[in-house]
Amino acid sequence: MPSTSDLPSTFYCTKSIDFSKAVDSSTLKDKSVIVTGGANGLGAGCVTAFAEAGAYITVLDINEENGNALASALTEKGYHVQFTKIDATSFASQTAGFKSAISFSPHSTLDLVLCAAGLTGLGMNAWLEKVSKTPDADPSPPSTATIDVNLTGLFYSAHLSLYYFKQTAKLGDKSSKHLIFVSSLAGYVALDKVADYNASKFGVRGMWKAIRNANGILGEEGPGFRTNLVAPTFIRTQMTAAIEPGLLAMGISLGEIEDVTAGVMRLACDESISGRAIAIAAREKMAGDRNFDLGDDWEGLDAGRETLDKIRDGTLHSLELVGGGQGNKYDRGNMFRGEDGNVIS
């Protein structure tokens, strides 16, 4: 890999992740953790992993039934988990959720935030299905729900994370405050004609890149700060159940929730990892064994090198074909669209 030594100092790259290093989950004991979108799927898997490590978890989600059920089930096992209902698109609602996490913390602090709230996308073919034949008829506005949750909601979460990291910091804090973004491999290998989802997940990368090297952002007297990102492939959840046969027919292997939690826990527990992005790929034998550092920096050509290498060796396969449909030479029909046109990814 080429060096950045001959580049200006602003072209700074952190050290790539060492996946051979053991993960010590005891570092999370008594930490105050927020998981947005933690009531289902990937978020719920990470909530469970954090709870088992001894952290105090606040689940922020709009799904009250699932969120309460998850918190109750983990609390009955002796873990520290609470649920607070929020609307991720509302700054005031998220603020209330963050404040509830601080109140729940044993030390009235906030230490780690995992931004996992997200929606699936709407295929662009749906934009053209109801084109009126009436002259001068105006189009209806497209839905912005996916961007509202996946990008604007995450922007709010990042703002609140930094604010409360600084406000609740204690003198002598030894551990860095940590913000983990959940993007997607669709933020690296764009899904065909799924504009809102692609835009939101590329946007998550942009937000992360803006602060990836801002280790001193909390002030000279404040604690350190680090941020990292995970980019999952298609993961086997309730959301992907309907399209799993189609994905498998295209040669796309689905990852498991445990593959995601393996990547997230590695980031959360290792203070030496900062400013890195992990691709979550479908396992070969054990959870997380095909996860890899995307090299999403100057040295890695913004992840282009690793992404292409993994496409060539089969770790990533056919993601660029997902979405497909009318207007693409790799037409897959409507296989990846829900009844309302939502692409599930």
Report the catalytic residues: 183, 197, 201
Decide: helix, strand or coil at residue 223: coil
CB 341 within 8 A of CB 122: yes
CB 84 within 8 A of CB 101: yes
Q: Which two tokens stand for residue 194?
A: 């799924």
195 sits in which H/E element: helix 195-211
Residue 27, C-beta contacts closer than 8 angstroms, at least 6 positions apart: 53, 175, 268, 269, 271
* Half-sphere exposure for 182 (CA within 13 Å, toward CB): 28
Closest CA to 262 of 48, 13, 27, 15: 48
- β-pair partners for 83: 59
How far apart, in whole angstroms, are the C-alpha atoms of residue 280 and residue 24?
20
Tally Cβ neighbours within 10 Å of residue 240.
Answer: 18
Backbone phi and psi for residue 265, each to the nearest 5 degrees, phi listed first: -65, -35
Residue 127, C-beta contacts closer than 8 angstroms, at least 6 positions apart: 139, 142
Q: How many residues can be counted in the chain?
A: 345
Residue owning tokens 């709010």: 156
